[in-house]
């Protein structure tokens, strides 16, 4: 039975609580209202109730490793501090063999997944990206390749002349098992124009994931929030993801990504508040009734706030990561990875049950 933490005479909030308890879908107007409400505790408690129904007290993590083959990129997105131009100081493009050597030097026992993203490097052919996966798959056949964003896939279609389906099929042959969720930013073409998101548009992002789902892949999806978008923009983003999930049932997890400033020395006023981060995670849980997991990404919101997020609707804390670069290039102040022991401590510290998983949420070990 749901009981509000703080007594409220807010009729609109009571209606939303009742809708959620009855399994009725929230609307655009409901989502915007939740964002504009200051009743964070009721929103969080309601999201917690939904998550407990879906996942109980289990919180999932994976031992994974982040890899970046290249930071050379044709795009100049306003929020990105990772990209470089060809020949610029710090620019690099690694061959498959070089990446294998890097992995052999840094990998830890138990890694089950490579999380692979990078720049849209137009100076190499599509075959480079295929061969990159092939080299890893041949050397580490038991590690799942979670690679490339939908924006990268759309880029590959342009440099190869192949269709989305053909690009994905070639990558699957090389070992690709699932797509990362990045490249979504905010699913609004107006937003993308203002923020100079010089990559896949809204329809292209959704179509890449639709095609991947049709090919049998389960994928991830994100929302990068905290810049110029409105609350309505965020809810419309969630509704588009929810709509595609209704169609394909191919998304495993939704990942709200808190925007990072471009400078690590940026002050508190240039960062999203903890209040906004928790509210976004909770509202994501309430709006996305057809997606099993909402992820609290400790790289962006910090370890301790991630613990709090586990009672605001989140059921996943990502993974060990090992040397994350993109958010840290943009100003993240958090660790660039955690160990398995630290992730277990993080989850248990929030009164939840840590569950080590594989990429597809099959349980490997439950740490009671």
DSSP states along 278-318 = HHHHHHHHHH-TT-SEEB--HHHH-HHHHHHHTTTT--EEE
Q: Over the Cα atoms of the chain, what is R_g?
A: 20
Distance CA 251, CA 24 (A): 21
User: Maximum CA pair distance of the chain?
Assistant: 63
DSSP states along 114-140 = EEE-----TTS-HHHHHHHHHHHHHH-
Distance CA 268, CA 265 (A): 9
Contact at 8 Å (CB) between 285 and 71? no
Distance CA 358, CA 218 (A): 13
Residue 133's nearest CA partner among 154, 117, 122, 119 is 117
Contact at 8 Å (CB) between 344 and 354? yes
Quick one: residue 251, left, alpha or beta (phi over 0 = left, psi -120 to 50 = alpha)?
beta
Question: Annotated binding site for S-adenosyl-L-methionine, which residues?
Answer: 79, 185
Residue with tokens 């190869």: 160
Distance CA 329, CA 111 (A): 24
DSSP states along 159-181 = HH---HHHHHHHHHHHTEEE--S
Question: Annotated binding site, which residues?
Answer: 73, 77, 79-80, 185
Question: Annotated binding site for [4Fe-4S] cluster, which residues?
Answer: 73, 77, 80
Q: Which residues are within 8 A (CB) of 122 and not within 5 positions of it... i.e. 6 or more apart?
A: 74, 155, 159
């Amino acid at each position: 039975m749901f009981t509000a933490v703080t007594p409220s005479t807010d009729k609109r909030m009571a209606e939303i609580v009742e809708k959620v308890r009855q399994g009725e879908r929230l609307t655009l107007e409901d989502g915007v209202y939740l964002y504009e409400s200051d009743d964070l505790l009721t929103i969080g408690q309601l999201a917690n109730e939904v998550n407990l129904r879906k996942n109980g007290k289990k919180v999932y993590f994976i031992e994974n490793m982040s890899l970046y083959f290249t930071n050379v990129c044709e795009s100049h997105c306003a929020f990105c501090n990772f990209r470089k131009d060809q020949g610029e100081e710090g620019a690099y493009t690694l061959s498959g063999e070089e990446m294998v050597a890097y992995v052999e030097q840094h990998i830890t026992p138990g890694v089950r997944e490579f999380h692979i993203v990078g720049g849209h490097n137009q100076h190499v052919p599509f075959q480079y990206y295929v061969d990159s996966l092939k080299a890893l798959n041949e050397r580490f056949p038991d590690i799942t390749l979670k690679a490339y964003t939908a924006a990268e896939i759309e880029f590959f279609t342009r440099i190869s002349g192949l269709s989305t389906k053909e690009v994905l099929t070639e990558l699957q042959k090389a070992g690709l098992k699932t797509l990362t969720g990045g490249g979504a930013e905010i699913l609004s073409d107006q937003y993308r124009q203002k923020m100079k998101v010089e990559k896949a548009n809204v329809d292209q992002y959704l179509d890449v994931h639709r095609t991947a789902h049709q090919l049998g892949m389960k994928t991830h999806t994100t929302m990068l929030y905290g810049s110029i978008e409105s609350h309505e923009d965020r809810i419309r983003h969630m509704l588009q993801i929810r709509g595609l999930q209704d169609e394909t049932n191919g998304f495993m997890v939704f990942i709200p990504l808190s925007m990072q400033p471009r400078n690590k020395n940026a002050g508190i006023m240039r960062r999203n508040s903890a209040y906004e981060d928790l509210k976004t995670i909770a509202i994501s849980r309430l709006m996305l009734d057809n997606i099993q997991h909402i992820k609290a990404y400790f790289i962006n919101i910090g370890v301790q706030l991630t613990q709090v997020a586990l009672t605001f609707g989140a059921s996943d804390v990502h993974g060990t990561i090992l040397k994350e670069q993109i958010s840290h290039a943009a100003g993240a102040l958090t660790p660039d990875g955690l160990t398995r022991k630290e992730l277990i401590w993080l989850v248990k510290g929030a009164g939840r049950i840590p569950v080590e998983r594989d990429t597809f949420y099959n349980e490997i070990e439950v740490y009671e």
